[in-house]
Amino acid sequence: MLKILFIGDIIGKIGRETIKKLLPKIKKEESPDLIIANAENIAHGTGVTRDTLVELTVAGVNLFTAGDHAFKNSGQLDVYSDAKFSIIRPANFSANAPGQGYKIITLKNINVLIINLIGRVFMAMDYDCPFRAIDEILANIKHGIDRKKISAIIVDIHAEATSEKSAFKHYVDGRVSAVFGTHTHIMTADPQITGLGTAYITDVGMTGFADGIIGIAKENIIKTFLSQIKDKHEIPEEGRSIFNAVLAVIDPRTAKAVKIRPIIKHTEI
């Protein structure tokens, strides 16, 4: 069996410190074969940097996915094209965007395909269709330029609307091993294995400051709601933090999921 640990959106320094503190113990307890994390917020809540990616790689993360904040650090976009960094960005971004939207990793002599997509409902940019993008990727893997035998397919769909994520689950049901929703920073209470063997959760949640509003200090967010004037977002670097992840078990003989379980831990940073 193949065990995949997928960590929800890591937010800022407190999120990175939470990973460094908790992940070694989780690895001993769960023995995951592959650790994936959504990293679009690791550099103080907006984008990634070389240093933050190295920091989390050393901490034990094997591959990073992204989302709408992927390119917020415009001076370091080359990380997406640098083979030293195992990071992908949503495949349905513009074809002119740096990086790739999926990656094949070989584990235990089997190939695992990880795909990153972004939703369109309530999102600011005019992204390409994630439904058509998944069809194209799977066709390339099965028949086209990237043809390989795949024993597990993992999808991070970074989307705002629960309806879009749920529709996507039904669209790919039985064609992929797992669909993990990201972006809203709140873990949902619907981890499940579909009838056709796809592990699913609408949102994995986040890893970061626990006593704010989706990882942000609450004071300025509340001021924004009261005044309708957007105030600066602040991410505390100390305090109570939360670690949100899911552990999925996949049978590589069938590429079907047999188990999904949420992991929720708190600690002080």
Going by the annotation, the residues of the binding site for Fe cation are 9, 40-41, 68, 158, 183, 185
Note the Cα 73 to chain centre separation in Å: 18
Q: Which of 6, 8, 16 is nearest to 186 (CA)?
A: 8
Other Cβ atoms less than 10 A from the Cβ of 229: the count is 7
- Would you state the structure tokens that stand for residue 234, as one six-digit string? 């602040």
Known catalytic membership, residue 69 = yes
d(CA 131, CA 91): 11
Q: Which of 69, 143, 233, 266 is catalytic?
A: 69
d(CA 183, CA 41): 10
Question: Is residue 241 within a helix (H) or strand (E), and if so which, with residue range?
Answer: strand 240-251
Name the percent of the chain in helix, strand, coil, to the closest 5. Answer: 25, 30, 45
Please check whether residue 41 is in contact with residue 215, taking contact to mean a CB–CB distance below 8 angstroms.
yes
Other Cβ atoms less than 10 A from the Cβ of 51: the count is 11
Collapse the DSSP code of 211 into the 3-class scheme (helix H, G, I; strand E, B; otherwise coil) and give the result.
coil
Other Cβ atoms less than 10 A from the Cβ of 163: the count is 12
Question: Is residue 54 within a helix (H) or strand (E), and if so which, with residue range?
Answer: helix 50-59
Could you list the active site residues? Answer: 69
